[in-house]
C-alpha cells in the first residue's frame, strides 16, 4: 500500500507543502506528488500529532501482503496512465493515436490485441502503460475496490468545446485520488479551437497550467492529425520521473485485474496489471476469491510471454473462475495455500456486503483519532444558487478539529459518477431536491454509499454538523 504526499495531506487536513518540509527535515527530500510507503506515512502522521491505530487488513493478517520491499530492491517501472475527459472530446481517438506511436508495434507477431491495457515503447526505450478504459467511472470504481493503479491522468479537453460537466467530474475524481494530471488540449486542428480559453477556464477549477504560473503540464494535440503526441509522451515521462516510480521485480508477483471474462475456448481469462514482482508461467496465485496456476500469458501484441514484470499488463489463463475488475492477484507458494486464501477472501467478501470494510489505508486513517479529521462529501442540487449556498455553508461548518471537504458539487440528478466518487472516498452523497437515477441508485446500494436527500438547507447543514460532532466523539 502506498499513498502520495498530497493525498496524505488531504486526509490529515494539513498543507502538502508542510508535509514535504517535515520530510525534508527528516532527511527525505520528496515532491508533493510522490508516493510514500505506509511506514513513512505513519511517521508523518505522528510528527503532526495525529494518533495512529494501524488496523490490519485481511491480507496482511494472512501474511501474503504488506511485506514492503526495501528501497534498495526497487527498480524504476513504467508509469500507468488513464485518460479522462468529457464524452466526444477524443479519449478513444487519443488512446488509438498513442498506441500508433509505439516504435515496436510493427514487429513480427505485433498484432494489436485489446486486452484492457497496452504499452507504448518510445524511441529512447522508455515504456508507458495506458489503461484502455477511459473515464473517471472506471477509475474511481477501481479505487473503491482498493486498486489505485493509475499513476498519472491525462485529462482530454476538446479545444473547440472547452470545459464540460464530465471534464469537471474527471478533475474532481483525479484530485480526490491525489493523482497528478496532464492536460491534453485536443482537436487543435479545428479552426474554432481556442487553447487559451481552455487554460483560463481551468483556473476556475483550480487546475493551473504552467503557462498560467502553475505546475500542471499541458500539451496541444490533435488525435486526428496525430500532432503533439511526442510532446505528450515526453510530458508523461517527465511527470513519471518526478514520481520516481519503483517496484521490486524480484519477488512473488502482486497485481490487479483490469478486466476479466469467460472465453469460450480458453475458459476464465483475466488481464492483470502486475504492480510488483514478476509473474511467471507456472506460478500459483489467488485473485479475489478465485485461485489458479498461470497456464499461459498473452501480452497486448498477442504474443505468448513467459514472464511479466512491474507495470506490465498481461492476459492470464489458468483461473478457477472469473474475478472482478480491481481484484488483487497475489502469487503464493502452493495450491493448498491458494485455496485457503481464496476461501478466506470469499468469506470476507460476504461479510463485506453487510459491513463494508474499507481498504487498509482508508482504514488506518478513518480509525485514527486525529486532532484534525476530514469530512468528505459530494453535493448535488437542483439549481446553481442552492448548490453554492450549501457548499459555502458546509465549508463554514468546518472547525479546528474537523474539516469539510467538498469533493464534488454540481447541478442535476445524482449520477453513477457521483456515486463512484463518493464510494472511492467513502463520503456521503447529498441530494438537494434531486434524486439518483436508477443506475446510480443500484450502484449506491451495491457500494454502500450513504445517500441523503434534503429540501431545506438548514436541515442539511444541521445534520452534517451533528454527524461531524459524532465523528469527533471517542468511539471506544
Ligand atoms: P471520446 O468519446 O472522448 O472517446 O471521443 P472519440 O475519440 O470517440 O472522438 C469523438 C469525435 O471527435 C470523433 O468523431 C473523432 O473523430 C473526433 N476527434 C477526436 N480527436 C480529434 C481531433 O484531434 N481533431 C478533430 N478534428 N476531431 C477529433
Tens digit of each residue's pLDDT (9 = 90 or more) over 161-185: 999 999 999 999 999 888 999 999 9
Is the model's pLDDT at 369 over the cut of 70? no
Is the model's pLDDT at 55 over the cut of 80? no
Q: Which atom of ligand 1 is nearest to the CA of 95?
A: 7
Mean pLDDT of the chain: 85
Mean pLDDT within 57-85: 75
Among 239-243, 426-430, 450-454, 472-476, where is mean pLDDT lowest? 472-476
Mean pLDDT within 61-67: 50
Q: Return the residue whose CA atom lies nearest to atom 25 of ligand 1.
A: 187
The pLDDT score that the predictor gives to residue 207 is 95
Which of 82, 84, 90 to probe ligand 1 with, by most ligand atoms within 8 A of CB? 90
The pLDDT score that the predictor gives to residue 352 is 46
ipTM, 2 dp: 0.99
Cα 441 to ligand 1 centre (Å):
31
pLDDT tens for 109-153 read: 456 678 999 999 988 899 999 998 888 888 888 888 778 899 999
Q: Is 190 in the pocket of ligand 1 (CB under 6 A)?
A: yes
Query: Is the model more confident about 40 or about 318?
Result: 318
Q: Which atom of ligand 1 is nearest to the CA of 156?
A: 3
| 4 confidence band (pLDDT: 50, 70, 90) | confident
Q: Return the residue whose CA atom lies nearest to atom 9 of ligand 1.
A: 90
3-state SS, the chain, equals CEEEHHHHHHHHCCCHHHHHHHHHHCCCCCCCCCEEEHHHHHHHHHHCCCCCCCCCCHHHHHCCCCCCCCHHHCEECCCEEEEEECCCCCHHHHHHHHHHCCCCCCCCCCCCCCCCEEEEECCCCCEEEEECCCCHHHHHHHHHCCCCCCCEEEEEEECCCCCCHHHHHHHHHHHHHCCCEEEEEECCCCCCCCHHHHHHHHHCCCCCEHHHCCCEEEEECECCCCECHHHHHHHHHHHHHHHCCEECCCCECEEEEEEEEEECCCEEEEEEEEEECEEECCCEEEECCEEEEEEEEECCCCCEECEECCCCEEEEEEECCCCCCCCEEEEECCHHHHHHHHHHHHHHHHHHHHHCCCCHHHHHHHCCCCCCEEEEEEEEECCHHHHHHHHHHHHHCCCCCEEEEEEEEEECCECHHHHHHHHHHCCCEEEECCCECHHHHHHHHHCCCCEEEECCHHHHHHHHHHHHHHHHCCCC
Query: Is the model more confident about 431 or about 353?
Result: 431
Cα 113 to ligand 1 centre (Å):
21
Mean pLDDT within 275-283: 96
The pLDDT score that the predictor gives to residue 57 is 43
Is the model's pLDDT at 359 over the cut of 80? no
Cα 229 to ligand 1 centre (Å):
15
Query: Is the model more confident about 355 or about 256?
Result: 256
Cα 368 to ligand 1 centre (Å):
46
| 361 confidence band (pLDDT: 50, 70, 90) | very low
Q: Is 90 in the pocket of ligand 1 (CB under 6 A)?
A: yes
Percent of the chain with pLDDT over 70: 87
The pLDDT score that the predictor gives to residue 21 is 82
Is the model's pLDDT at 25 over the cut of 80? no
Percent of the chain with pLDDT over 90: 54
The pLDDT score that the predictor gives to residue 304 is 94
The pLDDT score that the predictor gives to residue 187 is 98
Is the model's pLDDT at 50 over the cut of 80? no
The pLDDT score that the predictor gives to residue 197 is 96
What global pTM score does this model have?
0.74
Which of 86, 89, 93, 220 to probe ligand 1 with, by most ligand atoms within 8 A of CB? 93
Among 202-206, 213-217, 332-336, 419-423, where is mean pLDDT lowest? 332-336
pLDDT tens for 386-413 read: 999 999 999 888 887 788 889 999 999 9
pLDDT tens for 320-350 read: 999 988 888 999 988 888 888 777 777 765 5
Mean pLDDT within 359-370: 44
The pLDDT score that the predictor gives to residue 111 is 62
The pLDDT score that the predictor gives to residue 343 is 79
Cα 88 to ligand 1 centre (Å):
6
The pLDDT score that the predictor gives to residue 473 is 63
pLDDT tens for 82-112 read: 999 999 999 999 999 998 876 655 544 456 6
Q: Of the ranges 31-45, 346-360, 365-379, which is most confident?
A: 31-45
Cα 473 to ligand 1 centre (Å):
52
Q: Is 186 in the pocket of ligand 1 (CB under 6 A)?
A: yes
Cα 258 to ligand 1 centre (Å):
24
Q: Is 166 in the pocket of ligand 1 (CB under 6 A)?
A: no
Q: Is 135 in the pocket of ligand 1 (CB under 6 A)?
A: no
Could you tell me which residues are annotated as the binding site for GTP? Answer: 85-92, 132-136, 186-189
Could you tell me which residues are annotated as the binding site? Answer: 85-92, 132-136, 186-189
| 461 confidence band (pLDDT: 50, 70, 90) | very high
Amino acid at each position: 500500500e502506498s499513498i502520495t504526499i498530497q493525498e496524505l495531506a488531504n486526509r490529515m487536513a494539513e498543507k502538502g507543502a508542510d508535509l514535504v518540509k517535515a520530510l525534508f527535515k527528516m532527511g527525505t527530500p520528496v515532491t508533493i506528488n510522490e508516493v510514500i510507503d505506509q511506514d513513512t506515512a505513519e511517521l508523518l502522521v505522528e510528527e503532526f500529532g495525529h494518533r495512529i491505530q494501524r488496523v490490519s487488513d485481511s491480507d496482511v493478517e494472512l501474511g501474503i501482503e504488506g511485506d514492503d520491499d526495501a528501497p534498495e530492491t526497487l527498480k524504476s517501472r513504467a508509469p500507468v496512465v488513464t485518460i479522462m475527459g468529457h464524452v466526444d472530446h477524443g479519449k478513444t481517438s487519443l488512446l488509438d493515436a498513442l498506441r500508433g506511436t509505439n516504435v515496436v508495434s510493427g514487429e513480427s507477431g505485433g498484432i494489436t490485441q485489446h486486452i484492457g491495457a497496452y504499452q507504448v515503447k518510445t524511441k529512447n526505450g522508455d515504456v508507458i502503460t495506458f489503461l484502455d478504459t477511459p473515464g473517471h467511472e472506471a477509475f474511481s470504481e477501481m479505487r473503491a475496490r482498493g486498486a489505485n493503479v493509475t499513476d498519472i491522468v491525462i485529462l482530454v479537453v476538446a479545444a473547440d468545446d472547452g470545459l464540460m460537466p464530465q471534464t469537471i467530474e474527471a478533475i474532481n475524481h483525479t484530485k480526490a485520488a491525489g493523482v497528478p494530471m496532464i492536460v491534453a488540449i485536443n482537436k487543435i486542428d479545428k479552426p474554432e479551437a481556442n487553447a487559451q480559453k481552455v487554460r483560463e477556464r481551468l483556473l476556475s477549477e483550480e487546475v493551473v497550467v504552467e503557462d498560467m504560473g502553475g505546475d500542471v503540464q499541458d500539451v496541444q494535440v490533435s488525435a486526428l492529425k496525430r500532432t503533439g503526441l511526442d510532446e505528450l509522451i515526453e510530458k508523461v515521462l517527465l511527470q513519471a520521473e518526478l514520481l520516481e516510480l519503483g517496484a521490486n521485480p524480484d519477488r512473488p508477483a502482486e497485481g490487479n485485474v483490469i478486466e476479466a471474462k469467460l472465453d469460450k475456448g480458453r475458459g476464465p481469462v483475466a488481464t492483470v496489471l502486475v504492480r510488483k514482482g514478476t509473474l511467471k508461467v507456472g506460478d500459483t496465485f489467488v485473485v479475489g476469491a478465485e485461485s489458479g496456476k498461470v497456464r499461459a500469458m498473452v501480452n497486448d501484441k498477442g504474443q505468448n510471454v513467459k514472464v511479466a514484470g512491474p507495470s506490465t499488463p498481461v492476459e492470464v489463463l489458468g483461473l478457477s473462475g472469473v474475478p472482478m475488475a480491481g481484484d488483487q492477484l497475489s502469487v503464493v507458494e502452493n495450491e493448498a495455500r491458494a485455496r485457503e486464501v481464496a476461501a478466506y477472501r470469499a468469506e470476507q467478501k460476504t461479510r463485506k456486503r453487510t459491513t463494508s470494510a474499507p481498504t487498509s489505508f482508508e482504514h488506518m486513517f478513518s480509525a485514527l483519532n486525529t486532532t484534525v479529521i476530514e469530512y468528505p462529501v459530494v453535493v448535488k442540487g437542483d439549481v446553481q444558487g442552492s448548490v453554492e449556498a450549501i457548499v459555502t455553508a458546509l465549508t463554514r461548518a468546518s472547525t479546528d478539529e474537523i474539516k469539510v471537504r467538498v469533493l464534488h458539487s454540481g447541478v442535476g440528478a445524482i449520477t453513477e459518477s457521483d456515486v463512484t466518487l463518493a464510494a472511492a472516498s467513502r463520503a456521503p452523497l447529498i441530494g438537494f431536491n434531486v434524486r439518483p437515477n436508477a443506475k446510480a441508485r443500484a450502484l449506491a446500494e451495491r457500494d454502500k454509499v450513504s445517500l441523503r436527500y434534503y429540501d431545506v438547507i438548514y436541515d442539511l447543514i444541521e445534520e452534517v454538523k451533528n454527524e461531524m460532532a459524532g465523528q469527533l466523539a471517542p468511539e471506544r
